[in-house]
Amino acid sequence: MSNRLNVGDRVRVMDQRRLLRYLSGDRGTVITVPEGRRWYYLVAMDRNASRGHPVAFTRNEIEPDE
C-alpha cells in the first residue's frame, strides 16, 4: 500500500501514537484526506458510527488496516 491514505481506506490507531479517547487497534474509515494546508485525515471511527462524528488524525497516529 502507498504511503498516502485515500478516502475509503480502512485504518487503525497505532500503538505508540494513540489519542486519549482511542485505544491502539481501534479502527475506522478515512473520509477526507489532506489538501493544501490541511495536515490531518478525518476518520469515521467504527465505535462512533452511530454518532457520525469524524475524528482528526495525523498520518503518524494511524496506519493502514490490512
* Tens digit of each residue's pLDDT (9 = 90 or more) over 18-53: 566 788 889 999 999 888 888 899 999 998 766 778
Provide the pLDDT for residue 37: 81
Grid-cell match 480502512, residue found: 10
Strand, coil or helix: what is 6? coil
Show the domains of the chain with their CATH numbers: 10-64 (2.30.30)
Which whole-number Å values give the CA distances from 38 to 23, 30, 41, 49, in the listed order? 24, 14, 8, 24
